[in-house]
């Protein structure tokens, strides 16, 4: 195991100050942010970041590296520690305050949208990235599998919530995926910092293609009670506050569920097939409130005459 220290990377007081400032706008522990800054400086190539929120981790990464960061955006007024009315506006502001805005390309949108992936690829200008940092919910494993194709064979991979006292379900899925990749020799572990941020490195050879083929759970996330969440895109068609607009239908083994356009609280409390297409996500329940990850049924969405599974035909194949 390789442990990076202040001595072997010749950290300056400026870097330590930058990391301390980043901690004030980040959910990551300070030692994890320090390790991010160290690895970004050492990786020798651009950094891809998925899920910067308001930019604490991005500020640490960009101290000595060029960063391409993907953020969904929107408000998050209910956040317990770092509420925001506009995620991307606060991200931009924090990057400017930290003096690193010129080293960061901000790509708005969901990381699984094809146009978002292509924008990241274009920002690389034909080069491969030296580091990937993933901090998204849900879909960490899917994110790694897609974006690993943009990395060098020796690139660093950093994944948040490998362990967590709060995101227990997510941590179980993330750690199972990472441990499987380590056991099969595709990732080399370096350390676990802070409250559960995993650091490792690709092992070269065919590791990238092998990681892309690892089995993963459905890209679904438990959203409380009987509710589940899946990214589906098509936000231009989605429901709005006062208008049930979305034509999207949810199918369970080819049978239509419903009713649609249901409030999220009612989906959580009653379930039984209720769902809502809200922004780019689908909040839904199964017909009998069983778990869609284990009940053996196929879930798909339909708009007009077109049907596809929950990963959708706008997502990266």
What predicted TM-score, i.e. pTM, was given to this entire model?
0.81
Mean pLDDT check: name the lowest of 230-234, 254-258, 260-264: 230-234
Are 163 and 70 contained in the same domain? yes
Q: What is the CATH number of the domain that holds 196?
A: 3.40.50.150
Dihedral sign computed on CA atoms, order 131, 136, 142, 147:
negative
Are 206 and 224 contained in the same domain? no
Please say which residue of 213, 241, 271 terminates a domain.
Answer: 213
Number of structural domains found in the chain: 2
Are 196 and 225 contained in the same domain? no
Are 106 and 145 contained in the same domain? yes
Looking at the domain assignment, is residue 145 inside a domain?
yes
- Which structural domain range is residue 40 located in? 13-213
Please say which residue of 189, 213, 237 terminates a domain.
Answer: 213
Are 296 and 226 contained in the same domain? yes
Residue range 27-41, pLDDT digits in tens: 999 999 999 999 999
Are 38 and 163 contained in the same domain? yes
Q: What is the CATH number of the domain that holds 304?
A: 2.60.40
Dihedral sign computed on CA atoms, order 162, 46, 122, 103:
positive
CA angle, residues 37, 112, 183, in degrees to nearest 5: 60
Residue range 44-83, pLDDT digits in tens: 889 999 999 999 999 999 999 999 999 999 889 988 899 9
Are 52 and 126 contained in the same domain? yes
Are 171 and 246 contained in the same domain? no
Are 137 and 160 contained in the same domain? yes
Looking at the domain assignment, is residue 314 inside a domain?
no
Which pLDDT band holds residue 11 (cuts at 50, 70, 90)?
low
Paired strand residues for 79: none
Are 48 and 192 contained in the same domain? yes
- The average pLDDT across 206-223 equals 84
Are 195 and 73 contained in the same domain? yes
Provide the pLDDT for residue 316.
Answer: 45
Are 290 and 183 contained in the same domain? no
Question: How does the average pLDDT of the chain come out, rounded?
Answer: 89
The DSSP result for the chain, as a single string, is: -----TTTTT--HHHHHHHHHHHTT-SS-HHHHHHHHHHHHHS-S-EEEE--TTSHHHHHHTTSS-EEEEE--S-BTT-SSS-BS-HHHHHHHHHHHHT-GGGEEEEES-TTBHHHHHHHHHHTTT--EEEEEE--SS-HHHHHHHHGGGEEEEEEEEES-SS-SS-HHHHHHHHHHHHHHHHTTSEEEEEEETTTEEEEEE-STTHHHHHHHS----SEEE-STT-EEEE---GGGSBBTTB-----EEEETTEE----S--HHHHHHT-TT-EEEETTEEEE--TTS--TTTS---EEEEETTEEEETT-TTB--
Please say which residue of 193, 213, 233 terminates a domain.
Answer: 213
């Amino acid at each position: 195991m390789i442990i990076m220290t202040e001595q072997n990377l010749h950290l300056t007081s400026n870097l330590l100050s930058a990391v301390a400032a980043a901690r004030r706008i980040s959910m990551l522990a300070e030692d994890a942010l320090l390790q991010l800054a160290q690895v970004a400086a050492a990786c020798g190539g651009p950094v891809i970041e998925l899920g910067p929120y308001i930019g604490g981790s991005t500020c640490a990464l960009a101290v000595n590296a060029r960063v391409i960061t993907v953020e969904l955006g929107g408000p998050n007024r209910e956040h317990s520690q770092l509420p925001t009315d506009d995620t991307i506006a606060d991200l931009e502001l924090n990057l400017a305050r930290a003096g690193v805005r010129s080293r960061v390309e901000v790509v708005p949108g969901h990381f699984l949208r094809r146009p978002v992936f292509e924008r990241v690829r274009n920002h690389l200008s034909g080069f491969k990235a030296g580091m990937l940092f993933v901090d998204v919910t849900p879909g960490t494993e899917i994110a790694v599998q897609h974006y690993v194709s943009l990395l060098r064979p020796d690139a660093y991979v950093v994944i948040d919530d490998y362990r967590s006292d709060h995101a227990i379900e997510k941590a179980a899925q993330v750690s199972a995926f990472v441990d499987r990749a380590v056991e099969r020799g595709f990732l080399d572990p370096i350390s676990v910092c802070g409250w559960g941020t995993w650091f490792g490195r690709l092992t070269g050879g065919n590791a990238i293609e092998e990681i892309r083929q690892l089995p993963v759970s459905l890209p679904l996330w438990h959203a409380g009670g009987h509710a589940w969440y899946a990214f589906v895109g098509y936000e231009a068609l989605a429901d709005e506050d006062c208008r049930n607009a979305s034509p999207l239908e949810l199918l369970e083994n080819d049978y239509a569920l419903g009713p649609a356009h249901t409030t999220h609280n009612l989906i959580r409390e009653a379930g039984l097939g209720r769902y809502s297409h809200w922004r780019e996500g689908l909040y839904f329940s199964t017909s009998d409130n069983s778990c869609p990850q284990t009940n053996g049924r196929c879930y798909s969405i339909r708009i007009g005459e077109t049907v596809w599974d929950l990963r959708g035909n706008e997502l990266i194949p």
